C-alpha cells in the first residue's frame, strides 16, 4: 500500500434516532472508545493523506470529538441530510487536487480492519474504478444488493426499496464501505440523482455509472461481524460482545491465561504481556498495561493503571487512573489506589485507600490505612519511604512524609513528618477505670 495515495471520508451525519439518546449515536462507546473513535483509529493507521468527517448540523459535538482525535481532519457539515452521495459531495473540497484512492467509511461501522481497507484500495490501484465491501447476512433485509456479472464484477448496487423481487433474492449485500478512484469520483458525483424511493442521492449509484463508462467495479466479501452497523442499543450490546470475544481470543493466543474468559472485559487499548493470569470477573477500563508474570485476582476493577512484572492485584481491588504498581508488589482485597506509585515488593494487603501517594519499595501498609489527600480545595501528596511500616487504621494527613524504615503505630493520625527510622504514635492515651462495668450493670438491674 505504500505506493497507493489514500484519502478517507467518514460519514457521521445521521441522527441515530433509534438509539434514543441525547448522546450522538456515533459517540456511543464500545470497549471504552466511541464508534467514531474506532473508525478514526483505523484511519490513523493507514497514513491517509487527506481525512474528512461529515457531520450533521444537529451534532457539532461529533466534529469536536473528531478534532480531539485528529486535529488535521477536515470536519464538513451536511445540512440537510440528503443521502450518502450528497454527504461525500459535501466533502469534495477536502480532496481538491488529490490523485489516488478515496475510501468512504461509516462512523457507525466500527470494526472494519485496516488490512481490509488496504485490500479494497489495492483493487482500485490495480485498475478497478471502485471497489465495495460486501457480505452475506442471514437476512439481507434492507441492505442494498450487489449485482455482479458472470466474471464476478459489480455492475450495480440496488437499494432494497428500489429492488425487484429477483434483485431482493440476491444474498450478497452492500456494507457501504467503498474505495473510489479520485478522478472518477469527481466526475461521478455530479451525475447522481435523487430519482429513487427515498428521494436521496445514493453514493451506491456510482457503481452503475462506472459500469456504463466501461469501468470495472470490484467486490471484496468479508465476514458480517467486520461490517456490522450499530443503530440501536441492542446492536451496541452485540458489538460489545463481538469486541470482547475477539479480544479474549487474541489475549489467550498471545499467552495470557483467562480462567473464565467470558467474565473478563477489556478496553480497546488494554495491553497485557504473556504469562499474566486473570481470574474471573475482572473489568479493565482504558489505559491499562500489565507486565509478564502479574496476576489479577477475581472481582477487580482496573483503569488507567500500570502493573509491573510479578505484581498481584485483588481480589476485590480497585485501581484508578494514575495507579502504578511496582514489581512483585501486592494489592489486596478492598484496596483502592489512585494517582499513586507502589514500589517494588511493597504491600497494601486489605481495606486501605492509597491516593496521591508514593509508597517506597518493601513498605508495608496495614489494614484500614488512609492517605488523607484532599483538604476540600486541593489534593496533597503523601510520601512513604522504603521499608516503612504503617500500622493498621492509621490516617496520614497530606502533605506529609514518612521516612525510610519508619514505623507508624496503629490508629495514629499523622500530620507532620516522621523521620527515617523513627516510630510515630499519634493517638489518645489509654485510660482504665476499675469497676466501671460492674457499676453500669448495677444501674441496669435497678431499672
| In the block, residue with C-alpha cell 486473570 | 278
For residue 232, what are the contacts with CB-CB under 8 A and spacing of at least 6?
18, 19, 20
Q: Are 61 and 84 in contact (CB under 8 A)?
A: no
- Active site includes 350? yes
DSSP state for residue 251 in the 8-state scheme: H
Q: Which of 260, 331, 273 is nearest to 301 (CA)?
A: 331
Order across the sheet with 295-296: list the strands.
257-258, 277-278, 295-296, 312-313, 330-333, 347-350, 364-365, 389-390, 407-408, 423-424
Q: Are 274 and 256 in contact (CB under 8 A)?
A: yes
Q: From the candidates 28, 58, 268, 350, which is the catalytic residue?
A: 350
C-alpha to C-alpha distance for 210 and 184, rounded to whole angstroms: 8
Residues in the chain: 447
User: Cα Rg for the chain, rounded, in angstroms?
Assistant: 30
Q: Is the peptide bond before 80 cis (omega within 30 degrees of 0)?
A: yes
Q: Is the peptide bond before 379 cis (omega within 30 degrees of 0)?
A: no
List, as own/partner pairs, every contact residues 317-325 make where C-beta atoms lie below 8 angstroms and the sequence separation is at least 24, other chains included: 321/287
Q: Is the peptide bond before 315 cis (omega within 30 degrees of 0)?
A: yes
Q: Which of 172, 126, 139 is nearest to 4 (CA)?
A: 126
Half-sphere exposure of 156 (CA within 13 A, CB side): 9
C-alpha to C-alpha distance for 410 and 31, rounded to whole angstroms: 42
Q: Which of 316, 108, 405, 353 is nearest to 230 (CA)?
A: 108
- Phi first, then psi: what are they for 421, rounded to 5°? 75, 0
Burial state string for 206-221 with b = 16 or more CB within 10 A and e = fewer than 16: bbbbbbeeebbbbbbe
Residues serving a catalytic function are: 350
Amino acid at each position: 500500500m505504500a505506493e497507493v495515495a489514500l484519502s478517507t471520508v467518514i460519514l457521521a451525519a445521521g441522527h441515530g434516532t433509534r438509539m434514543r439518546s441525547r448522546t450522538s449515536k456515533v459517540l456511543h462507546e464500545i470497549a471504552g472508545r466511541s464508534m467514531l473513535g474506532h473508525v478514526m483509529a483505523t484511519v490513523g493507521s493507514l497514513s491517509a493523506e487527506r481525512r474528512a468527517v461529515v457531520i450533521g448540523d444537529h451534532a457539532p459535538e461529533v466534529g469536536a470529538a473528531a478534532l480531539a482525535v485528529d486535529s488535521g481532519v477536515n470536519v464538513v457539515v451536511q445540512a440537510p441530510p440528503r443521502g450518502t452521495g450528497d454527504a461525500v459531495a459535501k466533502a469534495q473540497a477536502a480532496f481538491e487536487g488529490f490523485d489516488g484512492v478515496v475510501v468512504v467509511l461509516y462512523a457507525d461501522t466500527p470494526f472494519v480492519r485496516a488490512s481490509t481497507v488496504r485490500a479494497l484500495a489495492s483493487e482500485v490501484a490495480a485498475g478497478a474504478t471502485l471497489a465495495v465491501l460486501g457480505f452475506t447476512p442471514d437476512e439481507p433485509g434492507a441492505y442494498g444488493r450487489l449485482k455482479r456479472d458472470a466474471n464476478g464484477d459489480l455492475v450495480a448496487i440496488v437499494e432494497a426499496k428500489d429492488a425487484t423481487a429477483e434483485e431482493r433474492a440476491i444474498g450478497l449485500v452492500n456494507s457501504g464501505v467503498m474505495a473510489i478512484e479520485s478522478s472518477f469520483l469527481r466526475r461521478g458525483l455530479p451525475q447522481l440523482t435523487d430519482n429513487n424511493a427515498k428521494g436521496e442521492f445514493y453514493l451506491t449509484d456510482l457503481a452503475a455509472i462506472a459500469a456504463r463508462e466501461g469501468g470495472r467495479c470490484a467486490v471484496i466479501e468479508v465476514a458480517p461481524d467486520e461490517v456490522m452497523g450499530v443503530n440501536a442499543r441492542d446492536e451496541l450490546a452485540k458489538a460489545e460482545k463481538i469486541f470482547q470475544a475477539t479480544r479474549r481470543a487474541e489475549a489467550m493466543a498471545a499467552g495470557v491465561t483467562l480462567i473464565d474468559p467470558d467474565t473478563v472485559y477489556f478496553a480497546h487499548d488494554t495491553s497485557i504481556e504473556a504469562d499474566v493470569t486473570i481470574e474471573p470477573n475482572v473489568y479493565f477500563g482504558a489505559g491499562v498495561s500489565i507486565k509478564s508474570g502479574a496476576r489479577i485476582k477475581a472481582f477487580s476493577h482496573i483503569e488507567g493503571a500500570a502493573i509491573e512484572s510479578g505484581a498481584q492485584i485483588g481480589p476485590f481491588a480497585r485501581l484508578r487512573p494514575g495507579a502504578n504498581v511496582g514489581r512483585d508488589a501486592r494489592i489486596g482485597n478492598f484496596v483502592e489506589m489512585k494517582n499513586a506509585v507502589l514500589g517494588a515488593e511493597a504491600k497494601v494487603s486489605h481495606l486501605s485507600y492509597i491516593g496521591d501517594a508514593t509508597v517506597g519499595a518493601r513498605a508495608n501498609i496495614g489494614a484500614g490505612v488512609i492517605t488523607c489527600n484532599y483538604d476540600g480545595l486541593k489534593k496533597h501528596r503523601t510520601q512513604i519511604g522504603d521499608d516503612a511500616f504503617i500500622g493498621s487504621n492509621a490516617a496520614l494527613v497530606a502533605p506529609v512524609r514518612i521516612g525510610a524504615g519508619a514505623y507508624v503505630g496503629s490508629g495514629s493520625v499523622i500530620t507532620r513528618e516522621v523521620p527515617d527510622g523513627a516510630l510515630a504514635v499519634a493517638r489518645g492515651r489509654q485510660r482504665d477505670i476499675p469497676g466501671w462495668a460492674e457499676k453500669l450493670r448495677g444501674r441496669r438491674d435497678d431499672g
